[in-house]
Structure 1
């Protein structure tokens, strides 16, 4: 990647030179060129037309005018399909994939990269540990910002990119809104009610948002396990049928308060409270048809209960200063509580109790943060900004795992785990309009993280720091006002999470090479990436765009999980542990088209077209090919969506197809993981009774494809293969929205 740096810098210099030739400053009089525009006869001068429009910029305007590439998806996109899960919204964005099977959500990923490479922010801040974006209702969200390259004011822990979810803001809502919805999956209802109430009293404005929901789900799964020795001996051949059902209840509160002082200062505060309770039951039937190893059980049943509460507060004070300078000071806090327990019974073929396992987990998280940004225009076309971020978090966790005799299942069971994380960051950036055609963004960010953990086995410390120079440029092609080229050269990183550093061991009930125990590694280093992004954009009408881009990420200190067989107090067990293994590279192309058909063909039906396609490549050094790709990275992903508005009646019809092909990755010399093809077709119909009331009928995952996968491990003379199939279901929903 270092070889690409001079070429990227040269490309930006070429753009600067090219645009400088059209710089209006070149027409100023000089000693060698005394001719000025003033000498042009008045009747031959061309006066440019300037159009001034009121109101806020559209989402596409923000994208177009941003120096660093930024995509905005506002309420129109969020409301389009009537989704009840934020994950369903995110999976339709260009280059975004969701881990897990259709309809169940999972990790949000950009550019096909696995968990941890995509930075997820809530109002510009990292959410507390254990918090899931899947749990946020789209009704609580004002807009989603997608940044493919890091910027200095946000953490550069964003090798794949950043998704910033911005909660409701008061200046958008003018009416009270009520939404009542119900969805049906496999015969189970999941009702949802949400309300938004804005208001204003003098200099004080507010927006109160709340939602309540109940979620009922039923899951099934089938697994076929086969373990074979080198001489062909089958040690076990098992069929496992799993089934689970549960009910979850949630309440979300997200008020936003704002006060504007007489001197122009503004203070904003937005707390976010989420409380979830889930009660579920599951069963598992294991049938062993061959093998010399005795099966662990024949039938198992388990009851689980989870209670979690998250409170997060975001605030900022905006102070305007002389010379159009501004000081924006942020402050925030977070608290999280997770309590879970489960009771599992395992029986033999005669119905006799073999084992009883009791697991309890109590986790408490606290955090506090502050930050700020000082911005000031300097000279012509310069907007300088500098700031800081400080964050401190504390976690306490106790896990107790007991067998039927009341004995601990592992040595550290019942220990109190405490972990403290401190993060300090300083940044500076300059957005420079070099000419009307060329803009640059130059940023620097230093970020340091220290994690300390205490438990009976001793104290573990991990310290890392990263310095990230950032360069973005946009060239608006002279003579082609709708076309522009973007380029970025950045440094980013991926830090190990607390769980990978110091988490208590997690035991697998059916321990095997394909279902190992998991533990952390306190000596992990952050992954470091150098990135190059290039994109061409052509804008169509008011809200359309056609773009083509490519990227490269060169990654050092790559983290992968290594599989070992170890002797423990429970006997020989397979264990998965993370470690830094070396170097990797990933690249890709990204295509997007979004436009109204009438903007291309005036006589065409009123149809909105939304489509995108991405193709990814990657290679991990030290792991033999083929398929030595980055973990969990899909090779391709695509979305095709259409929305039709009838002119005769107040009806809108639409749908979108999301596709990801089979993904096969060799994660190490011993292991190959395969995830089956994903296809998700969602459709909807929207009927507007009047300007204030509308009804939306939708069907998600209409194809209801099974979600297959396989895991093959060959180590220590034993080949272990696990093939899984998980059915998925169509989700029907109806949603009534009204303003009052």
Structure 2
């Protein structure tokens, strides 16, 4: 009789590790695997038939000596998750954020199926690096397709070498590695997003040659081009009610559409020249060219706007070149020097033409905005690695980085500049300098324990000077971060391990938050405005957030690579930075205006639980039918709770952090009609969130639900023929709604009004068909 084995926690380690299979055991059982190492191959049965027996055929087996995603994760002292190429390609995602959304605790801010800002543990400020370096200026995650990525390393807890500049976590993107068994990789994709066409194509050229072994020069060059069109609805509005009489003073509803087209070309290279057995050089170019054009039009039902039409276009050019040298004078010791330089130029032009009706007077209004940002970046770093016979792994290094940025911004209303913004000038120059020094040691005294201790010092100085009458501003932050990690593998439970991390991290102020030029709300561009329609501006006195972190993880590894893990984390954040809306006397208007600025608001406490389950069916059900044995089950869930000090009520959350996330998925492979098939689905759910923005302003965000599925097939092995993949994202579209409600005071009459605003965003099915081949 078949038996179903459930493994809800690591306490079942002994039972799971001793499960017997229903098949006949080999004559010589395999030796038990050591923790963190691959199991030894089973010896061939003594009664194996002769090789010449024509009734038997040996399938080709490929063995890779490189580390796997599981081994990278399992052997890391600090808590991290690794996503390999197989997982990147599985769902055929064209946006990197959609790959990460299926991981525990990761949420996105955009419309389903289109990516968005990435938030680990629901927190803003997740740090993104490319090959352990800062990305080129102006880089956006949406500009890098998954086709050009080898793997993604997600660090939940910081280390001295990876950096401490994020309280949420760090995502390191490793670009394509050379593939030795084929020279070319070609991928073509065609998709539909609400019947709008999407097209992308990529090509990777793998290089190898020179030397007696043909490996003196190894490299990979990848390029990608894409054209995508998007349709969005415009459905928003606001209502103002007199709190004393209950009379609706003003109500506006905007209904319409917006369309835009994005065209992009990007590429990267990883080139390595082995000069000698001890010295090698690496060259890594990276570029992104993108252009976006769009328009929107809507009509307003109310008393303020009629026949609004807008046009915009944006262009982004980003280049980066990284050079490094690796010197290994002896076994276990290496020196690495890396230099990098990058440049970018971003321009954006927009115009909005509308008819306004204020106090019974109808006027035409044309607002034109021009924004151009040029930035140059240079970096230099050095690192020394030493592995001793006493199982110590020392890493020490220095990092320097400097960037120069110039921003030109012009706003014209009916052809004339706004007088109130004149004092800010139209040109803003900023200089950012960063220096870091770190050292860390990983020590494995035995097979059961791994200990990590590190310290990192970082200093960031930002200087800004405007062309107007404003004085030069300077912001300097310095942080020293001690870090400790412990990994314990109980001898009695070889499949289990426990991680504990005690760290300090920080989130430096964003450059735009420090020196942002005021942006005037277009709904109420003149006179009094409301909390729900505030202007935006920067704060040069902003301080970095400092976070003390505790991470505790329990992991149980199943025989063929499945995992059951649970993580609890706690963060105590000082100098919490959050956009706060306040009534101010401003220079750009005669009336007082509500202005949203980032401000340090004291402290916040955050905690959460993350659970992950991933297992093949044959790990759970020992007598599973052959056609179900390779089926992979996936489940993860996260729950977040936080409290901002100084705010009343139960909804005083850290900005935009959801209450949690949930993923359920299944992947399966099978053969039929001489083809190899793969299929799967994933369901993602993020519950509704309520946030107390100020004492009198509340924000509500509806729940997000997304269902994805894929079907893949090929006529042979991965490198033979053409491999096809049909991907379907957001199969059951649901509208997303964002509402705000608060009490505003009219700065002229000092009268209180209830202000409400809302927006409803439609979401759409995204379907794509992709083909790839290697030759």
User: Does 1:520 find its partner at 2:546?
Assistant: no
Instruction: Note if 1:276 corresponds to 2:290.
Output: yes
Residue 579 of structure 1 is matched in structure 2 by 599
In the other structure, the counterpart of 1:419 is 430
Match of 2:272 in 1: 258
Q: Contact between 1:95 and 1:110, CA under 8 Å: does it hold in 2?
A: yes
Rounded to whole Å, the distance in 2 between the matches of 1:352 and 1:184 is: 42
Match of 1:701 in 2: 730
Q: Distance in 2 between matches of 1:54 and 1:277?
A: 41
Whole-angstrom distance in 1 between the partners of 2:712 and 2:170: 32
Matched, 1:478 2:515: no
Counterpart-to-counterpart distance in 1, 2:103 and 2:69: 14
Question: After superposition, what is the alpha-carbon deviation per residue over 1:265-299, rounded to whole angstroms, capped at 9, x for unaligned?
Answer: 111111111100111111122111xxxxx51x212
Q: Structure 1 unaligned segments of length 5 or more: list them.
A: 1-45, 289-293
Give the C-alpha shift of residue 48 in structure 1: 10
State the match for 1:73 in structure 2. 83
1:544 alignment partner in structure 2? 562
Per-residue CA deviation, residues 4-27 of structure 1 (Å, 9 max, x unaligned), is xxxxxxxxxxxxxxxxxxxxxxxx
Shift of 1:204: 1.5
Q: Distance in 2 between matches of 1:497 and 1:48?
A: 48
Partner of 1:662: 688
Q: Which residue of 1 aligns with 2:441?
A: 430
Q: What corresponds to 2:131 in structure 1?
A: 123
The residue matched to 2:533 in structure 1 has which SS? coil
Whether the aligned pair in 1 keeps the contact of 2:500 and 2:553 (CA below 8 Å) is yes
Question: Higher mean Cα deviation, 226-235 or 422-431?
Answer: 226-235
Judge conservation of contact 1:412–1:504 (CA < 8 Å) in 2.
no
Residues of 2 paired with 1:653 and 1:562: CA distance? 47
> Which residue does 1:17 correspond to in 2?
none
Offset of residue 353 of structure 1:
6.1
What is the Cα deviation at residue 172 of structure 1? 6.4
2:3 corresponds to which residue? none
**322-331 vs 674-683, greater mean Cα deviation:** 322-331
Q: Deviations over 1:174-216 (max 9, x none)?
A: 3411111011011111111101110112112221101110010
CA distance in 2, matches of 1:245, 1:48: 57
Q: Is 1:105–2:140 an aligned residue pair?
A: no
Rounded Cα–Cα distance in structure 2 between residues aligned with 1:173 and 1:558: 51
Does the 8 Å contact 2:33/2:40 carry over to 1?
A: no
User: Structure 1 residues 97 and 329, CA, compared in 2 at 3 Å: closer, same or farther?
Assistant: same
Partner of residue 645, structure 1: 669
Alignment correspondent of 1:683: 709
Distance 1:104 1:557, change over 3 A: same
**Residues 352, 200 of structure 1: CA spacing in aligned structure 2 closer, same or farther, 3 A cutoff?**
farther
Query: How far apart, CA to CA, are the structure 2 residues paired with 1:236 and 1:195?
Result: 56
CA RMSD of aligned residues (A): 2.0
Whether the 8 Å CA contact 1:182–1:191 is kept in 2: the answer is: yes
CA contact (8 A) 1:388 1:426 kept: yes
1:66-97: CA deviations, max 9, x gaps? 11122110101001001111111111122100
Q: Aligned partners of 1:429, 1:338: CA distance in 2, in Å?
A: 38
Q: Secondary structure at the match of 1:528?
A: strand
Moved more, 460-469 or 505-514: 505-514
Whether contact under 8 Å (1:630, 1:667) holds in the other structure is no
Distance in 1, matches of 2:163 and 2:431, equals 19
The match for 2:645 among 621, 624, 639 is 621
| 1:540–1:595 Cα contact (<8 Å) kept | yes
Note the C-alpha offset of 1:242. Answer: 3.8
Provide the residue aligned with 2:375 in structure 1: 365
- The secondary structure found in structure 1 opposite 2:416 is coil
In 1, Cα distance between the equivalents of 2:279 and 2:565? 39
Matches within 5 A, 1:239-258: 239-258=253-272
Structure 1, 552-561 or 279-288: larger mean CA deviation:
279-288
Using the size of structure 1 for normalisation, the TM-score is: 0.90
Mapping 1:123-522, distance limit 5 Å: 123-170=131-178, 174-202=182-210, 203-231=216-244, 232-288=246-302, 295=304, 297-347=305-355, 354-408=364-418, 410-412=421-423, 414-455=425-466, 456=468, 457-511=470-524, 512-522=530-540
Deviates more, 1:453-462 or 1:373-382: 373-382
1:523–1:435 Cα change, 3 Å: same
Moved more, 194-203 or 644-653: 644-653
Q: What CA distance in whole angstroms lies between the structure 1 residues aligned with 2:658 and 2:128?
A: 19
Mapped to 2, the partners of 1:517 and 1:214 lie a distance apart of 34
CA contact 1:502–1:520 (8 Å) conserved in 2: yes
SS at match of 2:232: strand
The residue aligned with 1:532 is: 550
Superposed, which structure 2 residues align to 1:20-35 within 5 Å?
A: none
Match of 2:94 in 1: 84
Distance 2:256 2:478 in 1: 44
In 1, Cα distance between equivalents of 2:148 and 2:282:
17
User: What are the superposed Cα offsets for residues 101-154 of structure 1, whole Å, 9 maximum, x if unpaired?
Assistant: 3133221001112x21x2111211222443210111100111000111001012
- Name whichever of 722-731 and 689-698 sits farther off: 689-698
- Residue in structure 2 matching 1:630, options 654, 666, 671: 654
1:523-544 residue CA offsets vs partner (Å, 9 max, x unmatched): 1110100000001000112321
8 A contact 1:60–1:542 mirrored in 2: no
What's the secondary structure of 2:74's corresponding residue?
Answer: helix
**SS state at 2:476 partner:** strand
- Counterpart contact for 2:410–2:417, Cα < 8 Å: no
Kept in 2, the 8 Å contact 1:128–1:365? The answer is no
Q: Give the Cα separation in 1 of the matches to 2:180 and 2:242.
A: 65
Equivalent residue number for residue 56 of structure 1: 66
TM-score by length of 2: 0.86
Is the 2:268–2:285 contact (alpha carbons within 8 Å) kept by the matching residues of 1?
yes
Cα distance in 2 for residues equivalent to 1:703 and 1:333: 45
Question: C-alpha separation between the residues in 1 aligned to 2:95 and 2:363?
Answer: 40
Contact 2:371 2:409 in 1 (8 A): yes
Determine if contact 1:560/1:578 at 8 Å carries over to the other structure. Answer: yes
**Structure 1 residue 710, shift from structure 2 partner:** 0.6
Assess, with a 3 A threshold, how the Cα gap between structure 1 residues 172 and 120 changes in structure 2: closer, same or farther.
Answer: farther
Q: 1:727 to 1:173 in 2, by over 3 A?
A: farther
CA distance in 2, matches of 1:173, 1:255: 18
Aligned-residue offset at 1:412: 4.5
Shift of 1:342: 1.3
CA displacement 1:211-266 (0-9 Å, x = unmatched): 11001000003113111232124221111114210111100111221100124311
Displacement of 1:718: 2.3
- 2:564 and 2:534 map into 1 onto residues whose CA distance is 46
Give the direction of change, closer, same or farther, for the CA distance of 1:69–1:174 in structure 2 (3 Å limit): farther
Kept after mapping to 1: 8 A contact 2:560/2:619: no
Structure 2 equivalent of residue 28 of structure 1: none
Per-residue deviation at 1:571?
4.1
Residue 570, structure 1, aligned to residue 589, structure 2: yes
- Could you tell me how far apart the structure 2 residues matched to 1:127 and 1:204 are? 25
Unaligned runs of 5+ in 2: 1-30, 42-62, 211-215, 525-529, 746-751
Distance 1:235 1:126 in 2: 50
**1:508, distance to aligned residue in structure 2 (A):** 1.8
**d(CA) in 1 for partners of 2:709, 2:664:** 12
